[in-house]
Amino acid sequence: MVELETFEHDSISKIGGKYWFHEISEEAFPGQAFSLEVGEILHHTQSEFQDILIFRSISFGNVLVLNGIIQCTERDEFAYQELITHLPVMAHKNPKRALVIGGGDCGVVRELVKHDIVKEVTMVEIDSMVIELSVKYLPNMAKYHNHSKVNIVIQDGFKYLSDLANKNEEDKYDVIITDSSDPEGPAEEFFQVNYFKLLSNSLKKDGIVIMQSSENIWLNLNYVEDLKQKAEKVFPNVEYSQCYMPSYTSGQLGLLIATHDTTNDLKKPSRTVENEDELFRYYSGKIHESSFVLPTWADKQINGRK
């Protein structure tokens, strides 16, 4: 057991007799921070790739932190996991093969398994320690890591996608979900034009990709606009969606979804499921459509709406 009184970490401090985790990034969100009261330190380690901290918060349950940035909390993780998964799966008419790049907490895998139409799920995660710790401390998220239709590959996502480029059409994917860390350090490559090209070469002709945009309209609208423009250099059909997430700085997170199929209206589900209210806590057909509705000022800049 880790003694909170003697534990030292740059993101944790004692204020008024209580211990607080502070998420601070002068690069991503200068002038503000997000804080959670810490009840217990569950695990801390430095893996080959990153600093990993897991703590039990007073109000958000167990929290996974990578390099000082919250990745998920037990209280609200389902919102992000569901939207980033079900937007592309439900926008695709027949999504049989799905690929997850990153996503070591296995939350996206859990959501993909819910769809009977999805027959094969591959998750490519570079840091096996994130998976191991998620199984132990985030069991509701990682409960399907060993599911029969799930294949976990411990490898660099860029290497995996590069190898796919020369494969046959049947070896490529209907849906690719990039569940990466924020664009700092090595993860910055996930937010460049070359990465969109890798995604494009790994997709089937009518395939759909989705990725978290790191920023949202309140934190850095110019960055979101720039990222969408990068995607549009590769994909002719690109849309921006947003998810409500109280544990992410400013309470929202953006998602970028794209396809080469210009006939596919990504803002609307292509299919329906009968037991929607039993399968999902956040996602629904109405949420699918409404997540693309932006405030006027943001819509004008990102989508060029008049």
Residues 16-68: pLDDT tens digits? 999 999 998 777 778 888 999 999 999 999 999 999 999 999 999 999 999 99
Confidence of residue 92 (pLDDT cuts 50, 70, 90): very high
Residue-number span of the structural domain to which 50 is assigned: 12-73
Same domain, residue pair 119 and 228:
yes
- Cβ within 8 Å of residue 75, ≥6 positions away: 59, 60, 61, 246, 247
Instruction: Please compute the mean of the pLDDT values over residues 4-25 and round it to a whole number.
Output: 93
Place of tokens 């695990």: 43
CB 71 within 8 A of CB 65: yes
- Active-site residues: which are they? 179
Given a cut of 60, whether residue 208 has pLDDT beyond it is: yes
CB 95 within 8 A of CB 172: no
Confidence of residue 193 (pLDDT cuts 50, 70, 90): confident
Residues 102-149: pLDDT tens digits? 999 999 999 999 999 999 999 999 999 999 999 999 999 999 999 999
Please check whether residue 154 lies inside any domain of the structure. yes
Confidence of residue 185 (pLDDT cuts 50, 70, 90): very low
pLDDT of 160:
93
Q: Pick 87 or 304 by higher pLDDT.
A: 87
Residues 211-259: pLDDT tens digits? 988 778 998 899 899 999 999 999 999 999 999 999 988 899 999 999 9
Confidence of residue 191 (pLDDT cuts 50, 70, 90): low
Same domain, residue pair 106 and 42:
no
pLDDT of 88:
98
Same domain, residue pair 240 and 126:
yes
- Cβ within 8 Å of residue 66, ≥6 positions away: 50, 51, 52, 53, 130, 181
Q: What percentage of the chain has pLDDT greater than the value 90?
A: 78
The dihedrals phi and psi of 254, each to the nearest 5 degrees, come to -95, 150
Distance CA 113, CA 119 (A): 9
Please check whether residue 229 lies inside any domain of the structure. yes
pLDDT of 183:
42
Same domain, residue pair 46 and 166:
no
Same domain, residue pair 51 and 164:
no
Q: Which amino acid type is present at position 233?
A: K
Residue 188 DSSP class: G
Residue length, the chain?
A: 306
Given a cut of 50, whether residue 282 has pLDDT beyond it is: yes
pLDDT-wise least confident of 131-135, 152-156, 175-179, 187-191: 187-191
Q: Pick 2 or 188 by higher pLDDT.
A: 2
Q: What is the pTM of this model?
A: 0.94
Please check whether residue 5 lies inside any domain of the structure. no
pLDDT of 56:
98
pLDDT of 252:
92
Confidence of residue 285 (pLDDT cuts 50, 70, 90): very high
pLDDT of 102:
93
Same domain, residue pair 83 and 51:
no
Same domain, residue pair 48 and 174:
no
Same domain, residue pair 81 and 25:
no
CATH assignment of the domain containing 25: 2.30.140.10
Please check whether residue 91 lies inside any domain of the structure. yes
Nearest to 123 by CA among 87, 95, 147, 92: 147
Instruction: Please compute the mean of the pLDDT values over residues 192-198 and round it to a whole number.
Output: 86
Nearest to 273 by CA among 46, 116, 98: 116
- Cβ within 8 Å of residue 267, ≥6 positions away: 239, 288, 289, 292
CB 122 within 8 A of CB 98: yes
CATH assignment of the domain containing 193: 3.40.50.150
pLDDT of 26:
78
Same domain, residue pair 178 and 36:
no
pLDDT of 181:
58
Same domain, residue pair 280 and 292:
yes
Residues 67-87: pLDDT tens digits? 999 999 999 999 999 999 999
Q: Please tell me the total count of domains within the chain.
A: 2
Same domain, residue pair 82 and 114:
yes
Nearest to 89 by CA among 78, 97, 101: 97
